[in-house]
Amino acid sequence: MKIRAVLYDFDGTLADSTELIMRCYRHTMSTHLGAAPPDEEWLSGFGMTLETQIARFARSAAETEAMLDTYRVYQREHHDRMLVPFPGTLETVEALQRRGARLAIVTSKHRTGALRGMDLCGIVDHFPVVVTPEDVARPKPDPEPVLFALEKLGVRAEEAVFVGDSPHDMAAGKAAGTKVAAALWGPFPRAALERERPDWMLTAPGDVLGLVG
């Protein structure tokens, strides 16, 4: 069936924010735990909400809140300087729009940060639908955010592809019934994404255009 809609993850798929996120993680863990666990432990949770990620490391509810505050303060200080779009992102989104594709972002980033990041990437006006954790009861990897985006776009799951960089994105899209495409330019190794059996493996942002005829 023809693909009529493209749903995107944001961090690691449209925006090159991995180093920003990892610096926030290391700073937060060092501040509260004395040292940061290996980067791989945080990377394994990419695609989850920040609250879920932090709670994996905090030793109490109070420490979770304190860690969240530390993370967010550090992120605000460095966000605008370190977050940039991946090369070709804006051009691809514009081309998809010209082809009549319906576009949405499905992200674990909270709305304020997502919109700010989209603005920095020059794409905020190209996405009429942006689904964030504030919109759903169960964020990714649950399919609820993807299903909500499909409802807002007015398309069926089989008419859409969800493009993301993490196994959690793949799981959410598959559970919702969409096609899924793995963004290999993100932080996850190819093998980790291949295990999720995506419909397509994309090596550059512009490859998305090959999915929408």
d(CA 60, CA 161): 39
What is the phi/psi pair of residue 171, to 5°?
Answer: -65, -45
Which letter does DSSP use for residue 136 in this model? -
d(CA 81, CA 173): 31
- CB distance 167 to 189 below 8 Å: no
Closest CA to 212 of 44, 94, 82: 94
Using the Cα atoms of residue 88, residue 90, residue 95 and residue 96 in order, give the sign of their dihedral.
Answer: positive
d(CA 54, CA 130): 24
Among all chains, which residue has been given the structure tokens 């793995």?
182
Closest CA to 132 of 155, 153, 111: 111
- What would the two tokens of residue 148 be? 């909500």
State the catalytic residue, choosing from 9, 11, 16, 165: 9
Contacts with 59 (C-beta within 8 Å, 6 or more apart), sequence order: none
Q: Is 69 a residue of the active site? A: no
Which are the catalytic amino acids?
A: 9
